[in-house]
Structure 1
Amino acid sequence: MIDDLSGVWLGRVWLPEVNGPAVVTLRGGELIDITAKGAATVSEICEKDDPAGFVRNAGGKSLGNLDEIASAHPGDLSKCHLLAPCDLQAVKACGVTFARSMVERVIEEKAGGDPARAEAIRERIGAAIGDSLRNIRAGSEDATRVKEALIAEGLWSQYLEVGIGPDAEVFSKAPVLSSVGTGAEIGLHPVSSWNNPEPEVVLAVSSDGKIVGATLGNDVNLRDVEGRSALLLSKAKDNNASSAIGPMIRLFDESFSLDDIRRAELTLTVEGEDGFVLNGHSSMSQISRDPQDLVSQTIGRHHQYPDGFMLYLGTLFAPTEDRDIEGEGFTHKMGDIVTISAPGLGALRNTVRLSTDCAPWVFGISALMKNLAARGLL
């Protein structure tokens, strides 16, 4: 789950004895509760001048071995278990930040969300667009020329606009405190029949726009819903348990920085109850917009986040491998186990269910504030 114990890690667990969350770090394979006044939330720690230094030197008590706590089912409130490592931060996401996935969004749009039509469209325009965009920097003069050429060919799309145009796609992925952590069930809206996981790096950003760390995320994608209309993005992206983040935030320090994120190699494995296995990959070196630019387009004088935010950076992964029916590509089945991993960031593991079958989200901001107040932490 955590592959580098030398890193400075920050996360959250559920403590049954207080019926609420605790802020934790990892030391020698043990989860250490560092919750205290002035450090009652992950958001509060990320706002400090030196989050990594604060966590490294914070006092606390051991809650037990990470692997043992991680094995507890998140739905069992009687046991200590891992939560998503963010709390009061807004959860934002960037889309269409890789050329290959951008091509798939164009295909989804042209197919109107119909996977049977997608293969024919992919053969007609996929390779040409992908080759044209492979080495183009978003917002550049080269990108403008490609845009003009595609318009002339009748292939222009709103997805290509945000993929190579000057403005990135940034949207609200999930409400505050609604994300699930590793080990939890991840939800698909029941109206969807064509969907896939999206393995992504997720940045932890403070209220002044400073990137303080990173973790992994699954930005579940309903290809048929968004393919019918981009105006259905919120329905496609924001559903019960549809945002998975974890296992823990690795804070930036002298041994781990944004440059490591720029070089990150993400691996995806989907294991179905039917014996199906899908392997995927996303390489951050191929992103068409630098992570710092994506943060700058999210926060500034145009938009503030007083408690900071988490930012999904998008994915290169766009599965086309057939699962059942030839030409219809991949889609999830209930019970799929999705594992997303990257060296230095650990592994995020979730089981696919319908959003209507996942545990309902009931612990919101007011519940957190009441819980912290009752514990004398505010």
Structure 2
Amino acid sequence: MDTNKGDTPTSILSNSRIPIDSPETWAFGVTYEDSMKERQAESDTPDVYGKVYVADRPEAFFKSTLARIKGNNDKVGIRSDSTWDVPEPELTFIVFHGKIVGFTVGNDMSSRSIEGENPLYIPQAKIFNNSASIGPCWVPIELIDYNNLNVEMIIKRNSKEVYSGSGNTSLMKRKCDELNEWLHKSNDVPDGTTVMTGTGTIPPEDFTLQHGDQISITIQDIGTLVNEVIKV
């Protein structure tokens, strides 16, 4: 694959484990209707999720620094003070000079018990050691129909499948270009920043990750991101 097509800079390419040295990783939430409903189910204050889903301004939050981000076949974390943890498979775009130049697969590790207790705890539910991964590669924007990509997640425990789910980026209420515009409002975004765009695939309420689980996230035309879970 010619990753130098168009104006995509070679300077933001990295090794095979983390496909880009992303100085910052941001994330958007409640961009799919299914995500909104799941957030309402887990929360003691469900109205906030319904309101942000229909609002003009989306939910955006800082997710990770380069030192924290993990790559393909790296270990991702679940918090030791959390009782309900899930991975969130997310189409992730790469920003250069304010524009989207490509896409990768993202895993937004999240504590549903902490976020559900109080939305003000979202930074603790989202930002911790090994709380995000990207990979296994990135694909230039010219080569992908990012508004219509299948997203699949499989979780295995002791080599046995314990969860599988799928969705499609066509179901996003807010598209990537709109999210990128919001990200740059009064905000200088470093070149190479990665941006997770929300999830439409969430395990049910009776499921939580365990130490040793294996997560495989596949996005059509990009690849499969594989991570093992550890307690942090």
Q: Deviations over 1:262-285 (max 9, x none)?
A: 101011000001734211112101
Aligned to 1:196: 86
Q: TM-score, normalised by structure 2?
A: 0.92
How far apart are residue 175 of structure 1 and its match? 1.6
Q: Deviations over 1:217-257 (max 9, x none)?
A: 1101211010001111111111111111001111223xx14
Q: Given the alignment of the two structures, is residue 187 of structure 1 paired with residue 77 of structure 2, yes or no?
A: yes
Q: Given the alignment of the two structures, is residue 96 of structure 1 paired with residue 30 of structure 2, yes or no?
A: yes
How far apart are residue 342 of structure 1 and its match? 1.8
CA–CA separation in structure 2 for the residues paired with 1:185 and 1:306: 26
Q: TM-score, normalised by structure 1?
A: 0.57
Identical-pair percentage: 30
Aligned to 1:205: 95
Is the Cα–Cα contact under 8 Å of residues 26 and 63 in structure 2 kept in the other structure? yes
* Unaligned stretches of 5+ residues in structure 1: 1-6, 11-47, 59-80, 113-155, 321-327, 356-378
Aligned to 2:164: 279
Q: Given the alignment of the two structures, is residue 341 of structure 1 paired with residue 230 of structure 2, yes or no?
A: no
Higher relative contact order (CA 8 A, sep 6+): 2
Amino acid in the other structure paired with 2:175: D
Give structure 1 regions of 4+ aligned residues with deviation exceeding 2 angstroms: 7-10, 274-277
Is the Cα–Cα contact under 8 Å of residues 22 and 65 in structure 2 kept in the other structure? no
The verdict on how the C-alpha distance between 1:314 and 1:210 changes in structure 2, with shifts beyond 3 A counting, is same
Amino acid in the other structure paired with 2:36: M
Q: Deviations over 1:31-55 (max 9, x none)?
A: xxxxxxxxxxxxxxxxx97117x69
Q: Given the alignment of the two structures, is residue 228 of structure 1 paired with residue 117 of structure 2, yes or no?
A: yes
- For residue 159 of structure 1, give the secondary structure of its aligned residue in structure 2: helix
Aligned to 1:247: 136
- For residue 53 of structure 2, give the secondary structure of its aligned residue in structure 1: helix
- For residue 101 of structure 2, give the secondary structure of its aligned residue in structure 1: strand
Is the Cα–Cα contact under 8 Å of residues 95 and 191 in structure 2 kept in the other structure? no
Amino acid in the other structure paired with 1:174: S
The verdict on how the C-alpha distance between 1:277 and 1:50 changes in structure 2, with shifts beyond 3 A counting, is same
CA–CA separation in structure 2 for the residues paired with 1:338 and 1:88: 22
Is the Cα–Cα contact under 8 Å of residues 9 and 248 in structure 1 kept in the other structure? no
Q: Given the alignment of the two structures, is residue 219 of structure 1 paired with residue 108 of structure 2, yes or no?
A: yes
- For residue 250 of structure 1, give the secondary structure of its aligned residue in structure 2: strand
CA–CA separation in structure 2 for the residues paired with 1:212 and 1:274: 36
CA–CA separation in structure 1 for the residues paired with 2:6 and 2:168: 31
The verdict on how the C-alpha distance between 1:49 and 1:9 changes in structure 2, with shifts beyond 3 A counting, is closer
CA–CA separation in structure 1 for the residues paired with 2:162 and 2:3: 31
Amino acid in the other structure paired with 1:229: N
How far apart are residue 334 of structure 1 and its match? 1.1
Aligned to 1:126: none
Q: Deviations over 1:171-199 (max 9, x none)?
A: 00012332100000101111111111111
CA–CA separation in structure 2 for the residues paired with 1:93 and 1:245: 12
Is the Cα–Cα contact under 8 Å of residues 156 and 163 in structure 2 kept in the other structure? yes
Is the Cα–Cα contact under 8 Å of residues 107 and 133 in structure 2 kept in the other structure? yes
Is the Cα–Cα contact under 8 Å of residues 197 and 218 in structure 1 kept in the other structure? yes
- Of 98, 106, 109, the match for 2:40: 106
- For residue 183 of structure 1, give the secondary structure of its aligned residue in structure 2: coil
The verdict on how the C-alpha distance between 1:83 and 1:305 changes in structure 2, with shifts beyond 3 A counting, is same
The verdict on how the C-alpha distance between 1:244 and 1:251 changes in structure 2, with shifts beyond 3 A counting, is same
Q: Given the alignment of the two structures, is residue 50 of structure 1 paired with residue 3 of structure 2, yes or no?
A: no
CA–CA separation in structure 2 for the residues paired with 1:216 and 1:174: 15
CA–CA separation in structure 2 for the residues paired with 1:201 and 1:104: 19
How far apart are residue 200 of structure 1 and its match? 0.6
Amino acid in the other structure paired with 1:84: I
CA–CA separation in structure 2 for the residues paired with 1:222 and 1:306: 27
How far apart are residue 87 of structure 1 and its match? 1.6
